[in-house]
Amino acid sequence: MSPAPPEPASGTPSPPDVLDLVVIPGDGIGPELVDSALQVLERVAALDGFTYELTTVDAGAGAYRSAGRALPEDALERLRAADGVLKGPVGLPEVRHPDGTEAGLLGGLLRLGLDTFANVRPMRLLPGVTGATRHGPGEIDYVVVRENTEGLYLSRGAGAATPHAAADQLMVTRVGTERVVRYAFDLARKRSGAAADGVRRVTCVDKSNVLRSYALFRRVFDEVAEAYPDVETEHLYADAAAHDLVARPQCFDVLVMENFLGDVLSDLGAATVGGLGMCGSLNVGADAAYAEPVHGSAPDIAGQGLANPLSQILSLALLLDHASRPSAGDRVRRAVESALSGGGIELSDRGRPVRGTGSVTAAVCEALST
Ligand code: IPM
Ligand code: MN
């Protein structure tokens, strides 16, 4: 009998020998962005010394059009079994359900189906990038943790409507709030604090002055916070948070909020760090995770090599962190930064790569090796 393998050190999951990754190329600019991220993956895996296997799952608007469903029947099980999923943007405006809603979107199917309760959206203003405010690189570096399975979007497809009136409900639960708030505090412990003062801080964003659901969110936040005396807490109403994310973004470290607020405020944050093309994200739950750009599939520029692949490449970095390869995630982030500051990547005022998608991919791959 061969000896039992050594136990991994407690608290540090040992990375799998071969990473089992699933790829969803998506619609519009999705396939070209994912292709770019896979080139970066190939390079970083060689440098970081790991191997991986890729499985492609076709899902989204194209899949709905050809197979009659946006997500194949057994897909959730396959995605759950993987070490991580890299997803491109999905959706095509002309592919719709009979009720007029878009048929190719996967947010509801994947976030609820995989129970990925936290949507992690880092906002970092990188060197060589012009944001919409007067801040410089390094001054904006915070993470929006968006609750991802309840809140206003639990009403997706379930609201009550007549031709003259419509209503959607905003659901906040104790269990759902506890787990996402805990995630935010644990994340703050791993970071080095806000850019302005280096203080580890979690900001609770809500409208508890107006709505009961948000009052519960805040109460649960305060209860969870008691277990993290080493992390500073802050409360902001969502309107004030929108103001402060523009006026004093350097003071934020981690922010946690309900689904709809997180959707809106993360786009606001994106504008301050050079646009949605700079923003990757990770949807994470207890037994599944998938990384995706924060933006949509931009079918108007698809297939022309015009899109900025950094959102997808930075999503890959988040996925590598999650899949027990944080050194590889760091390598990717450092390569993006050095390609930007060294002039290898040039972005237009609209955040598009001046020399095209392929030039950005090449610059990141080049920076990885140097
Ligand atoms: C996002 C997107 C999705 C959302 C849309 C496409 C359904 O805007 O991930 O932020 O609202 O969650
Ligand atoms: Mn959004």
Domain boundary among 272, 307, 328: 272
**Ligand in closest contact with the CA of 27:** 1
Q: Is 126 inside any structural domain?
A: no
* Ligand 1 atom with minimal separation from the 292 CA: 9
286 found inside a domain: yes
- The reply to whether 62 and 193 lie within a common domain is no
Q: What percent of the chain has pLDDT over 70?
A: 96
Tell me the pLDDT of the chain averaged across its residues. 94
Half-sphere exposure of 358 (CA within 13 A, CB side): 3
Residue 263 sits in the same domain as residue 287: no
Pocket test for ligand 1, best of 119, 152, 257, 263 (most atoms within 8 A of CB): 263
Q: What is the pLDDT of residues 66-76, one digit of tens each?
A: 999 999 999 99
Q: Quick: pLDDT tens for 324-347.
A: 999 999 999 999 999 999 999 999
**Amino acid code (one letter) for 156:** R
pLDDT tens per residue, range 198-216? 999 999 999 999 999 999 9
Range 103-113 average pLDDT: 94
Tell whether the torsion through CA atoms of 320, 326, 327 and 330 is positive or negative. positive
Q: What number does the ligand 1 atom closest to the CA of 296 have?
A: 6
Q: Which of 205, 239, 272 is the last residue of a domain?
A: 272
Q: Kindly state whether residue 161 falls inside one of the protein's structural domains.
A: no
User: How much is the pLDDT for 234?
Assistant: 98
Looking at the structure, tell me whether residues 232 and 285 fall in a common domain: no
Note whether 110 and 149 are same-domain residues. Answer: no
Ligand 1 residue neighbourhood (C-beta within 6 Å): 105, 107, 263, 294
136 and 230 both lie in a single domain = yes
Instruction: Count CA atoms closer than 13 A to 121's CA, side-chain side.
Output: 31
Q: Is residue 122 part of a domain?
A: no
Cβ–Cβ < 8 Å for 29, 298: yes
| Closest ligand to the CA of 121 | 1
Whether 292 and 369 share a structural domain:
yes
Q: Specify whether 245 is located in the same domain as 320.
A: no
Contact 261, 206 (CB under 8 A): yes
Ligand 1 centroid–CA 37 distance in Å is: 21
State which of 216, 242, 272 marks the end of a domain.
Answer: 272
The pLDDT of 8-27, averaged and rounded, is 80
Q: Give dist(CA 217, CA 199) in Å, integer.
A: 23
Decide: residue 82, CB within 10 A, 0-12 exposed, 13-18 middle, 19+ buried: buried
Q: Average pLDDT in the 257-281 region? A: 97
- Give nearest CA residue, ligand 1 atom 10: 263
User: 179 with 238, same domain?
Assistant: yes
17 catalytic? Reply is no
Q: How many whole angstroms from 281 Cα to the centroid of ligand 2?
A: 11
Catalytic residue from among 142, 153, 214, 228: 153
230 counts as catalytic: no
The verdict on residue 1 lying in a domain is no
- Per-residue pLDDT at 305 exceeds 50: yes
Instruction: Check pLDDT > 60 for residue 2.
Output: no
pTM of the model: 0.94
Please state the rounded mean pLDDT for residues 294-302.
96
Q: Which amino acid is at 357?
A: T
Q: What is the mean pLDDT of residues 26-46?
A: 98
Domain that holds residue 258: 132-156+167-272
Task: Kindly state whether residue 6 falls inside one of the protein's structural domains.
Answer: no
pLDDT at 351: 87
What is the position in ligand 1's atom list of the atom closest to the CA of 107?
7
If asked whether residues 172 and 299 sit together in one domain, one would say: no
Q: Is 263 a catalytic residue?
A: yes
Q: Do 233 and 147 lie in a common domain?
A: yes
| 132: number of Cβ within 10 Å | 13
From the CA of 108, give the closest atom in ligand 1: 7
Structurally, the chain folds into a number of domains equal to 2
Whether 139 maps to a domain, the answer reads yes
21 and 88 assigned to the same domain: yes
Residue 304 domain-assigned? yes
Lowest-confidence segment of 113-127, 147-161, 190-204, 314-328 by average pLDDT: 147-161
pLDDT at 13: 63
- Residues 102, 22, single domain; the answer is yes
Residue 320 · residue 343 · CB < 8 Å = no
Q: Catalytic residue, from 141, 183, 207, 228: name it.
A: 207
d(CA 26, CA 24): 6
Query: Which CATH number belongs to the domain containing residue 204 in this structure?
Result: 3.40.718.10
